[in-house]
Amino acid sequence: MNKVKQIHSFGQSIWLDFIDRAIIGNGKLKSLIDDDGIRGVTSNPAIFEKAISSSDMYDGDIATLSKDSKSTEDIFFGLAIKDIQNACDLFSSLYKESDKVDGYVSLEVSPFLALKTAETAAQAKQLWEKVDRDNVMIKIPGTQPGLAAIRESIGHGININVTLLFGLPRYEEVTEAYISGLEDHLAAGHSIEHISSVASFFLSRIDVLVDPMLDEKGLGDLKGEVAIASAKKAYEIYKRVFSGERWEKLAAKGAKPQRLLWASTSSKNPAFKDTKYVEALIGADTVDTVPLETIEAFRDHGIAADTLEQGLAEATATLEKIKAAGIDIDKITQQLEDEGIAKFNQPFEKLLKSIEEAAKTK
């Protein structure tokens, strides 16, 4: 069997961490669905910046949209929504066949809103209505101000992909926002069966920041292991939160657990195997969003096995060791969140500038 497709036999869904107009139009995305068992797509400002600035396929739409005196941000969302709608349509049959578990395509709110609760919630609702597809997920950063926007959006029946999660305490707050949002929607007299959400836990960036500290502390043997250990502990939180009396009441009404999604899964350190993060965290009721090159690497030489709940004692010990060595993981994950916002702001600013330049020449 195709090695990527084999992952799904262990209960994990592989989503593609990439979108552009070419991959939709030339049949590549369809072949990834058919041959590799890809079950969804995620996008972000950096992905769209690369797609739009490196292709002339968007020029016609930029010209059309710019005639209406729209802002550059409005033009961008006009371009992005068209791609998201087309991708959603490609996944619509999988969405139905999977009973609304998979087949989702994610579109992110403006990264400029990452620390603005009301504006984030308003734009999430606006994008949800404009895309007008049951299998779209709106991405909201899991910042402190984002938590209320996540709850409000879920409370309005919107599918949400919570992005930019690095730390365990924040992840648990996100699960609370999701469950509370479901309760709000139910209390307002609505069905909750259609609502789906994932919590995107970013991995390799943690190790990029922590690994040099490990060398300094004489813990070099733990390099490349802190992110994986954190993810395994997050899965323990997931299993605890989505069980018990409070959750069972919602499950009885058709609620779906908010699955953990592993993001930033390409190895940044050339000393690591290029499929390291994918192989280490395969397990039931999870999602892994994977760049195209990592999907191709896994297809070639990846090993699919049920690994997520292996080595839980070692994962606990890893986090205890770094704490004992004076490495403050909570401080590190907050730094990563702050840097993550900046890393999405920069390509978004670049993207808006390139759209502005393109609009002037049309």
Rounded Cα gap, residues 119 and 274, in angstroms = 38
**Which burial class, exposed, middle or buried, applies to 338 when counting CB atoms under 10 A from its CB (0-12, 13-18, 19+)?**
middle
**Which burial class, exposed, middle or buried, applies to 277 when counting CB atoms under 10 A from its CB (0-12, 13-18, 19+)?**
buried
| Rounded (5°) CA angle 91-96-101 | 85
Rounded Cα gap, residues 255 and 180, in angstroms = 12
How many other CB atoms are found less than 10 A from the CB of residue 225? Answer: 23
CA atoms 116, 127, 23, 279: torsion sign: positive
Rounded Cα gap, residues 334 and 276, in angstroms = 24
Quote the tokens at residue 106.
Answer: 């994610």
CA 117 to each of CA 120, 123, 139, 144, 150: distance values in angstroms, whole numbers, following the listed order: 5, 10, 13, 9, 9
360, HSE (Cβ side, Cα atoms, 13 Å): 5
Rounded Cα gap, residues 293 and 231, in angstroms = 22
- Residues annotated as part of the active site: 139
